[in-house]
């Protein structure tokens, strides 16, 4: 794939939560992300879709959730994302370890990865979703949210990488490299790191292989899909054609209001999305108002009263 249409890195990661209120509290008050959009799952408007990110919800900073309060817990296994990582500055490591512990969260500082380059704090959100904060020298390339609840010098700097778990490496590895333009950059133990676009924090995927691992189950506390960035709809169209030529089933382009999306599965089973950078989260709310209203796409607006009545109430602290 030529550089003109190269994938730029992670756009967002979407996971399943249980109680939406608990989810909002954890990600805004403890992790200090900004709730940049409160909407519904366009494919299931009885469910919220909550987007967290940096000050503007820039692609590459977004973790989003479908809260399914009645659903059972999922299980991480082969063909799934095993951990979602955010970048933090190296100077923020002790701050975050202390902060998470002070909130009663069990956090583990695991052995540095890739030599001494990455120090990782590993913990779970209230639904059991595996998260990591990775202290990295390149964290300063992206800004923290200056108005957030965390001192900006310690704030999360966007997605770092996702770790995919597979029972067999080869089909996924080959697809990422030959099909999607990733390149192998590091290898350590059972972990292989691939980069895309310019590489670096936010443009990495780690592959972990465990042949004994059975398939997982996507439900509460697990990742639903991983979205990769392209710059515009023309590039997305080129990817759709290319992926179909490789024999994959790729969905038609879907209007997600804040971006356009296509979906397909990588050979190991992880659901992938390719999402456009534009138009972004300020398309229907001013930057200073992001996340304050329940926003609906035009085709669901006529059903607003029914949708609002069916959704569980949500208290949003406006920071
Ligand atoms: Zn998505």
Ligand 1 centroid – CA 206 distance (Å): 19
Ligand 1 centroid – CA 112 distance (Å): 30
- Give which of 7, 9, 131, 5 is closest to 59, Cα–Cα: 9
Ligand 1 centroid – CA 252 distance (Å): 14
Ligand 1 centroid – CA 228 distance (Å): 9
Task: Say if residue 287 is exposed, middle or buried (CB neighbours under 10 Å; 0-12, 13-18, 19+).
Answer: exposed
Would you write out the chain's pLDDT as a tens digit for each of its 319 residues?
A: 555 689 999 999 999 999 999 999 999 999 999 999 999 999 999 999 999 999 999 999 999 999 999 999 999 999 999 999 999 999 999 999 999 999 999 999 998 898 878 999 999 999 999 999 999 999 999 999 999 999 999 999 999 999 999 999 999 999 999 999 999 999 999 999 999 999 999 999 999 999 999 999 999 999 999 999 999 999 999 999 999 999 999 999 999 999 999 999 999 999 999 999 999 999 999 999 999 999 999 999 999 999 999 999 998 875 5
Ligand 1 centroid – CA 91 distance (Å): 32
Q: Is the pTM of this model over 0.85?
A: yes
Ligand 1 centroid – CA 260 distance (Å): 9
Tokens 């999360």: give the residue: 156
Cα dist from 59 to 78, 188, 276, 303, whole Å:
27, 28, 9, 29
Question: What is the pLDDT at residue 2?
Answer: 57
Two structure tokens written together for 175: 């697809």
Structural domains in the chain?
Answer: 3-310 (3.10.180.10)
Ligand 1 centroid – CA 288 distance (Å): 24
Ligand 1 centroid – CA 274 distance (Å): 8
């Amino acid at each position: 794939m030529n550089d003109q249409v190269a994938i730029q890195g992670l756009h967002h990661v979407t996971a399943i939560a249980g109680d939406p209120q608990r989810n909002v509290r954890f990600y805004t008050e403890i992790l200090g992300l900004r709730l940049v959009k409160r909407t519904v799952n366009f494919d299931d408007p009885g469910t919220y879709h909550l987007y967290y990110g940096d000050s503007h919800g820039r692609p590459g900073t977004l973790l989003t959730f479908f809260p399914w309060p009645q659903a059972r817990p999922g299980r991480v296994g082969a063909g799934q994302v095993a951990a979602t990582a955010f970048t933090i500055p190296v100077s923020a490591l002790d701050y975050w370890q202390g902060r998470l512990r002070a909130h009663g969260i069990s956090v583990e500082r695991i052995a540095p990865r890739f030599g001494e380059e990455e120090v990782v704090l590993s913990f779970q959100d209230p639904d059991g979703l595996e998260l990591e904060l990775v202290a990295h020298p390149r964290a300063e390339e992206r800004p923290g949210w200056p108005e957030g609840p965390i001192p900006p010098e310690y704030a999360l700097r966007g997605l770092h990488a996702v770790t995919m778990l597979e029972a067999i490496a080869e089909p996924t590895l080959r697809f990422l490299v030959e099909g999607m333009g990733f390149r192998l950059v590091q290898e350590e133990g059972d972990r292989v790191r691939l980069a895309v676009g310019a590489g670096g924090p936010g443009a990495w995927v780690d592959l972990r292989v465990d042949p004994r691992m059975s398939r997982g189950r996507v439900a509460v506390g697990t990742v639903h899909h991983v979205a990769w960035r392209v710059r515009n709809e023309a590039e997305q169209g080129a990817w759709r054609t290319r992926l179909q030529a490789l024999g994959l089933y790729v969905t038609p382009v879907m209007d997600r209001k804040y971006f356009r999306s296509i979906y397909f599965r990588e050979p190991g089973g992880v659901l992938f999305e390719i999402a456009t950078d534009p138009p972004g989260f300020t398309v229907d709310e001013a930057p200073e108002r992001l996340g304050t209203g329940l926003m609906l796409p035009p085709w669901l607006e006529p059903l607003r009263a029914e949708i609002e009545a069916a959704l569980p109430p949500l208290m949003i602290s406006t920071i």
